[in-house]
Structure 1
Amino acid sequence: MEENGEAAGPSAPGPSGDTTDQTHLPTDDGTGPYPGTSLNNTQPQSEGADSRPVTRSIALTWDPDPSGNTNGYRVYVRGESTGADYAFDSGPDTHLRMALPTGERYSFTVIAYNAAGESPPSSTLQCDLF
């Protein structure tokens, strides 16, 4: 869509409509899933000497930008206690699988982007990988 001859930026990724085959992780206070993003069950990727997983595989999915004016998506991940920041570009795909170190609480945010810039961030999703 164009406004005043300039390309409009994408809107924030919208809430999820179809949640089949997805497990939404609840908030810490047990109030339920975050709208717009979801995490599939995590599976251990590798194990340390004490047989605890060193990394876990996370599958994050979201609904496409409703404007249809998107070139791709970026997922920003922050390790809450370490302050480690990760950025993943999924291109036009509305899903991303990543392996993250265990023993950490992570925050996930998704943005849509195009030639005009980035959308506002999605709602933040948090999960603990212990």
Structure 2
Amino acid sequence: MEIDSEKMLLVAAQAASKAYSPYSKFKVGAAVLTESGKIYAGCNIENASYGLTICAERVAIFNAVSEGELDIAAIAITSEGAAKPCGACRQVLHEFAPGMTVIVGDFGGNFSRKFSLRDLLPDPFDGGFKKA
């Protein structure tokens, strides 16, 4: 499948504008591309009890899954400074597409890098149930 990184980063940046981040002020947006060609967006949503905060990457993945889309091709993530996904997000991404492409960029479109999820999470937890 062809991945349009620019389009995905644009969708992710639009999602970031909807982020609820009153505590950290760190807005993140994500866009998940499914094998069917649909794109699902997500933004980070913070909570006063910080452990209950959910990252943009998981919101986007869960949006896709809630619509019956389980075959994920790629994810694009935008934030100030082009941050890579946290460990929890990497593990959740692995659950649905261990070989997916991860695209990271900043809000200005000045920085973009592509990674394989396998490079970002070389030894994932599988609970003994799944093989990576």
TM-score normalised per structure 2: 0.29
Larger Rg: 1
User: Which structure has more strand as a fraction of its residues?
Assistant: 1
Q: Comparing both chains, which one has the higher relative contact order based on Cα–Cα distances under 8 Å and sequence gaps of 6 or more?
A: 1
TM-score normalised per structure 1: 0.29
User: Which structure has more helix as a fraction of its residues?
Assistant: 2
